[in-house]
Chain A
Amino acid sequence: MKMREELDRDKGKEKKPKKKIKSYPILVISGFYIVLFAAMLFYIARYSYVNRQTLMNNNYNKRQQILLAQNSRGKILSRNGDVLAYTEEGSDGKDKRVYPYGKEFAHVVGYASNGKAGIEASANYYLINSGAELATKVKFDAEGHKYPGDTVTTTLDVTLQEVAYNALSARKGAIIVSNPKTGEILAMVSKPDFDPNYIAQEWDKMLADDSGDAQLLNRATQGLYPPGSTFKIITALAYLRDNNNDYSGYKYSCNGKFKDGEDVISCYHGENHGGVDFITSFAKSCNTSFANIGLSVSQKTFNQTLEELMFNSELPLSIAYTKSSATYDQDTPRGEIMQLSIGQGTTGMSPIHLNMITCAIANGGVLMKPYLVQSVTTEDKKTVASFEPETYKRLMTKEETDILTSMMVAVVEKGTASKLKGLSYTAAGKTGSAEFNSNSDSHAWFTGFAPADDPEICVTIIVENAGSGGSYAVPIAKRIFDAYFGVE
């Protein structure tokens, strides 16, 4: 023991004498400020980088004008390289934005004067910046042109967009076509529309218009409609969750009317469906049975399902949209629960939201984040940014989507979407005829996907004031599916 101590002492002697700390407080204070500054500088770098687009796009940021004075606004392309928007220098020296497809892409591509909308707004930062190489800039400069703004390539498909645009014909409404596996939006149509080439000239007239046309509104994302029977997807999901995915025991006898105290629910056009099980109730879109189902689901489960499916909350979208609304709290009267179960009453949903839920079902429960821009490139074809498919979140389990898919196939095989039956591809979907006034006038809905066993394409359609979904929305879906699968 003693030896050891002595050894230690000797070792200590060999080492340099330890420096005496002259003032702890000075070290503490210096250290504190160094750490504080490190945190601050990190914060500044991170904040300014992460928020650079939002800050640049802010209407109060005058620096947009600097960029616009230097760069000409970049091109917007379809997924196959068709030009959807470009800027040309007019004879007066002023830039003019040209939209070769006119009204067809009006809402989704948007406009860049009189405010901004659509992709013109969401990709504004890229369009007004120029990542062109120095030599290219010099060349443009020498020719007396502004630098070329970066090119934005979208996920949009011109063929599908045109089919959807023509299919909706002169009706009001909206169509969204997307890829459930990636979240790419392939087409987005909203009518009534406008011609973005003449936005400046037409602007005042469109704002003054009070006919209810609301041409500038992108109904696909900003329109809020009663979802009608398409909402039965959600009611059915809530029921499955409440019953451990066991629906085999469900039986109901439909006589066209469902009474609960004072409240009455009737089937579409008073139809009498007779004895139905869970799947048939869905396939035939039996309102009375679904009012019954809705009432049987516990408030907690139903409400939780609504929350998980992003009702009353933000959606993962980069263009302007409206939040959907559906409430079921402890005080909701039974009459309203029945209305909710069949997507009527105060329930409001945007077509894009319904499309997202449909996509999640088609993709085994996982919602891919919907996106419109796939890449940004410079004039020299260098990539500035590219956007890969991104998982947003899981909305439901695989087992739940399997059941829902089989139910949606039944809608096609033996239910309200029979116009999709017997084709070269198997489609799955749900129709809706959402009443929006007391005269029983209804919006025609369809949401669905194909092929049912390995979905590639997901379509959501609403045709305002058309009639039943089966008669007016399903044929449009068929035209789009046909176009996608190359069926003549």
Chain B
Amino acid sequence: MELYVTEIAKFVIPLILFVYTLEAFLSFRHKNEDQNKVLYISQVILIFGMQIACFIEIIARTGKAKYLFFFGFQILIFVSIVVLFYIIYPDGNKLIINNACMLLSISMIILTRISYDKAVKQFFIITFSFIVGFFIPAAIFRYNLLKRFTWAYAAIGIAAIGVVLLLGATTNGSKIAYTIAGITFQPSEFVKIVFLFFMAGALYKAESIWELFLASIVAAVHVIILVLSKDLGSALIFFIIYLAMIYISTENIGYLVLGLFFGAFASVVAYKLFRHIQVRVAAWRDPFGDIEGTGYQLSQSLFGISSGGWFGLGLYGGMPSSIPYVEQDFIFSAIAEEFGVIFAILMTLVCISTFVAIMQTSYFIKDKYYRLIASGAGVAYIFQTFLTIGGGSKFIPLTGVTLPLVSYGGTSVFVTILLLMIVEGIYMIRVDERNIAIEKHRKMMQERRSFEDEGRVRQR
């Protein structure tokens, strides 16, 4: 019986995700959200379908009833999130919220399998994040005065990561977190959002090169502090956000090229200066060369990804725990191992569809300030995804960042949910812009028509 369940689940689960992913990309065909209603509802059903399939497999394999309750709570919360969002923000972007729920439910399943305690903890953080997050789109939509505090954002950001550099505890050789009242914060994650607002504020009305220069200085201070904290992943993410926003703001590809050259140069210098970067690059080139030392993590991760084959070893069929920090930095490998490479690829495609949705929003919005924030958020999201998946699969050197929404880690999931909710707020502003434009157009047409009518009357 157990065997049948797990063997069937092996194929059903990727199939569900395949249909889901297909629908995600199909939704881009229509500009009008109403036409996508069926797709979105079907996606929600698929999310629960997948959760049910996975939990049947978990229970078949473990025989533990406690998972059943946990599963029930999850269904309850995810249903509430989707229903509440659809009701409170009928104009919000439903693909982004659906994708978030899909990725979070994948996260809950794999975390439950790796460590039940961590899964429960993560579950509470997700719930809390959405409670806070639900206020965000409304706040963004209503309060235009966020635009005013540009330099305050710079000060807050630099202060927050500066404090970590000076006082922070060292974890994994890099200073990235501090603990207040038993809760560990990772300020660089929060500062990412503040930084987006700063950059947007500094750039949206910048005209002179001097203003660009000033923004660049502040951005450089952020990056340097992060490099000194040995938080290379975050440093890279900030740099890439900065580059993308400068380019989008100025529409001048010269800045991008210049920035990339500078970035390449800085990387070479950093490589020469810092031993820990050299170690990571060496481990990337040949993880098996020093398999007992620096290459251990990456080799174990590669073993994981490869051992599952296309359809995975099934939940509890693999050994994801043999990868150090699997639930944070190598969650992708754990997923590939037990759900299979096809599933892992589809999941990545879901992440890409979120990215495309965010970039689409920023493309169509007229207000440049929000365009910059949205596109910055999109780049932050996709680049972090790239760093963690690429790092765990030997595509690029390992930087040790989390996979947004999927990895274990309170700050990461909280900040990502906030980020997506900010995008939702911006999306609503764009819908509003469009409605106003349509209204205007209609009025104009009406006026013209009545004018023409009048003319006709006169002619008579």
> How many whole Å from B86's CB to the nearest CB in chain A?
27
- Which of B306, B307, B386 gathers the greatest number of chain A CB atoms within 10 Å? B306
Interface hits, A1-30 → B, CB 8 Å:
22-30
B307 touches A137 (CB 8 A): no
User: Which residue of the partner chain B has the closest CB to A140?
Assistant: B3
CB distance from B207 to the nearest CB of A (A): 17
Instruction: Report whether B302 and A66 are in contact in the complex, using a CB–CB cutoff of 8 Å.
Output: no
Contact A24 B251 (CB under 8 A): yes
B18 at the interface (CB under 8 A from A): no
B216 near A: Cβ within 8 Å? no
By the criterion CB–CB under 8 Å, are A37 and B386 in contact? yes
Expressed in whole angstroms, the Cα–Cα distance for A167 and B302 within the complex equals: 47
User: Across the interface, which residues of A come within 8 angstroms of B244, CB to CB?
Assistant: 25, 29
Residues of chain A within 8 A of B389, CB atoms compared: 40, 44
Greatest chain B CB density within 10 A among A49, A55, A66 is at A55
Indicate which residue in A27, A48, A58, A138 contacts B363 across the interface (CB closer than 8 Å): A27
Q: Does B375 contact A (CB under 8 A)?
A: yes
Minimum CB–CB distance for A270 against chain B, Å: 53
Q: Say yes or no: is A205 at the interface (Cβ < 8 Å to chain B).
A: no
Q: Are the C-beta atoms of A66 and B317 separated by less than 8 Å? A: yes
- Tell me which of A41, A52, A138 contacts B307 (CB under 8 A): A52
Q: Please name all residues of chain B whose beta carbon is closer than 8 Å to the beta carbon of A29 when the two chains form the complex.
A: 244, 247-248, 359, 375, 379
A27 vs B363: C-alpha distance when bound (angstroms): 8
Q: In the complex, A480→B212 CA distance in Å? A: 84
> What CA separation (Å) do A335 and B299 show in the bound complex?
49
Q: Is residue A61 contacting chain B, with contact meaning CB distance below 8 A?
A: yes
Separation in Å of the B281 CB from the closest CB of chain A?
Answer: 18
Q: For residue A34, which residues in chain B have a CB less than 8 angstroms away from its CB?
A: 352, 356
Chain-A contact segment, one of B45-53, B91-99, B262-270, B390-398? B390-398
Whether A61 lies near B307 (C-beta < 8 A) is: yes
- Minimal Cβ-Cβ distance residue in B for A137: B3
A207 at the binding interface (Cβ < 8 Å)? no
Question: CB-nearest residue of chain A relative to B310?
Answer: A49
Distance (whole angstroms) from the CB of B359 to the closest CB of chain A: 5
Is there contact, CB below 8 Å, between A26 and B352?
Answer: no
Which chain A residues border B348 with CB–CB below 8 Å? 37, 41
Interface centre among B7, B302, B309 (most CB of A within 10 A): B302
Find A23's partner among B307, B371, B390 (CB 8 Å cutoff): B371
Which of the residues A30, A40, A56, A66 comes within 8 Å of B318, measured between beta carbons? A66
Flag if B352 contacts A37 (CB, 8 Å): yes
In the bound complex, what is the Cα–Cα distance between A9 and B314 (angstroms)? 63
Q: Does B435 contact A (CB under 8 A)?
A: no
The smallest beta-carbon distance between A143 and chain B, in angstroms, is 13
Whether A25 contacts B251 by the Cβ 8 Å rule is: yes
On chain A, the residues within 8 Å of B69 by CB distance are none
B393–A40 touching, CB < 8 Å? yes
Whether B364 contacts A66 by the Cβ 8 Å rule is no
Cβ-based interface call for A62 (8 A): yes
A66-B319 CB under 8 A given contacts A33-B386, A40-B386, A134-B3: yes
Contact B303 A63 (CB under 8 A): yes
Q: Within A380-437, which residues are at the interface with B (CB < 8 Å)?
A: none
A43 within 8 A of B: yes
Q: Which residues, 109 to 143 on A, are CB-close (under 8 Å) to B?
A: 134, 137-138, 141
Convert A56-88 into 0s and 1s, putting 1 for each residue whose CB lies closer than 8 angstroms to a CB of B: 101011110010000000000000000000000
CA distance A43 to B390 in the complex (A): 10
Q: In the bound complex, do residue B393 and residue A44 qualify as a contact, i.e. CB atoms below 8 Å apart?
A: yes
**What is the minimal beta-carbon distance from A49 to any residue of chain B, in angstroms?**
8
Q: Which of B303-333 contact A (CB under 8 A)?
A: 303-307, 309, 313, 317-319, 322
Instruction: List residues of chain B with CB within 8 A of the CB of A55.
Output: 302-303, 306-307
B305 & A43 in contact (Cβ 8 Å cutoff): no
Q: Tell me if B70 is interfacial: C-beta within 8 Å of chain A.
A: no
Q: Does B288 contact A (CB under 8 A)?
A: yes
Chain A residues near B300 (CB-CB < 8 A): 60-61
A45 at the interface (CB under 8 A from B): yes
Instruction: Assess whether B319 is in contact with A138, with CB atoms less than 8 Å apart.
Output: no
Q: Mark B71-98, 1 if CB is under 8 A from A, else 0.
A: 0000000000000000000000000000
B277 proximity list for chain A (CB < 8 A): none
Complex alpha-carbon distance, A400 and B72, angstroms: 77
Count A-side interface residues using an 8 Å CB cutoff.
Answer: 35
B196: interface (CB < 8 Å): no
Taken residue by residue from 370 to 410, chain B's Cβ proximity to chain A (1 for < 8 Å, 0 otherwise) reads as 01000100110011001001100111000000000000000
Is A330 part of the binding interface, using a Cβ–Cβ cutoff of 8 Å? Answer: no
Q: Is B143 an interface residue when CB atoms closer than 8 A count as contact?
A: no
Asked if B317 and A43 sit within 8 Å, CB to CB, the answer is: no
A63–B299 Cα distance when bound, in Å, is 12
Over the window 287-305 of chain B, the binary record of Cβ atoms lying under 8 Å from chain A Cβ atoms (1 yes, 0 no) is: 0100110001001101111
Asked if A36 CB lies within 8 Å of chain B CBs, one says yes
Query: In the complex, A63 Cα to B3 Cα: how many Å?
Result: 19
Closest beta carbon of chain A to B233's beta carbon, Å:
16
Does B124 belong to the interface (CB within 8 Å)? no
The residue that A33 contacts in the complex, of B247, B305, B313, B355, with Cβ under 8 A, is B355
Evaluate contact between A56 and B356: CB separation under 8 angstroms. Answer: no
In the assembled complex, the Cα of A51 lies from the Cα of B352 at a distance in Å of: 27
| Cβ–Cβ contact A58 & B303, under 8 A | yes
Q: Which residues of A contact B154 (CB under 8 A)?
A: none
Q: Which residue of B lies closest to A51 (CB)?
A: B306
Cβ–Cβ contact B356 & A30, under 8 A: yes
Contact B359 A138 (CB under 8 A): no
Neighbouring A residues of B305 by C-beta, 8 Å:
44, 48
Interchain CB contact under 8 A, B318 and A44:
no
Are A48 and B386 closer than 8 Å at their CB atoms? no
A26 lies within 8 A of B375 (CB): yes
Q: Does B210 contact A (CB under 8 A)?
A: no
Please tell me if B138 contacts chain A, counting CB pairs below 8 Å. Answer: no
Q: Please, which residues of chain A bring their CB within 8 A of the CB of B7? A: 134
Note all chain A residues with C-beta closer than 8 A to B363: 22-23, 26-27
For residue A138, give the distance in angstroms from its CB to the closest CB of chain B. Answer: 6
* CB-defined contacts of B362 to chain A, threshold 8 Å: 23, 26
Most chain B CB within 10 A, of A25, A43, A62, is at A25
Does A58 lie within 8 Å of B247, measured CB to CB? no
B336 at the interface (CB under 8 A from A): yes
0 or 1 for each of A157-168: is its CB under 8 Å from B? (1 = yes): 000000000000
Closest Cβ–Cβ distance, residue B48 to chain A (whole Å) = 26
Contact A44–B341 (Cβ < 8 Å): yes
Per the bound structure, the CA–CA distance linking A335 and B140 in Å amounts to 88
Closest to B351 in A: A37
Question: CA A44 – CA B291 in complex, angstroms?
Answer: 20
Query: Closest CB of chain B to A54's CB: distance in Å?
Result: 9
Which residues of A have CB within 8 Å of B12? none
Please give, as numbers and ranges, the residues of chain A lying within 8 Å of B378 by CB-CB distance.
30
Residues of A within 8 A of B318 (CB): 63, 66
Residue of A nearest to B346 (CB): A41
Using CB atoms, name the residue of chain A closest to B295.
A60
Name the one of B307, B352, B359 contacting A63, with C-beta atoms under 8 angstroms.
Answer: B307
User: Which B residues fall within an 8 A CB radius of A?
Assistant: 3-4, 7, 244, 247-248, 251, 253, 256, 288, 291-292, 296, 299-300, 302-307, 309, 313, 317-319, 322, 336, 341, 344-345, 348-349, 352, 355-356, 359, 362-364, 371, 375, 378-379, 382-383, 386, 389-390, 393-395
Q: List 7 contacting pairs A-B, 8 Å CB cutoff, sorted by A.
A: A22-B363, A28-B247, A43-B393, A47-B393, A47-B394, A56-B303, A134-B7
Going nearest first, the 7 A-B pairs with the smallest beta carbon separation are: A48-B306, A25-B248, A61-B303, A55-B306, A30-B359, A63-B307, A44-B393
* Beyond A30-B356, A66-B317, 9 extra complex contacts between A and B, CB < 8 Å: A23-B362, A25-B244, A26-B362, A28-B247, A29-B359, A40-B389, A47-B306, A66-B313, A66-B318
Using a CB–CB cutoff of 8 Å, the interface residues on chain A facing chain B are 22-30, 33-34, 36-37, 40-41, 43-45, 47-49, 51-52, 55-56, 58, 60-63, 66, 134, 137-138, 141
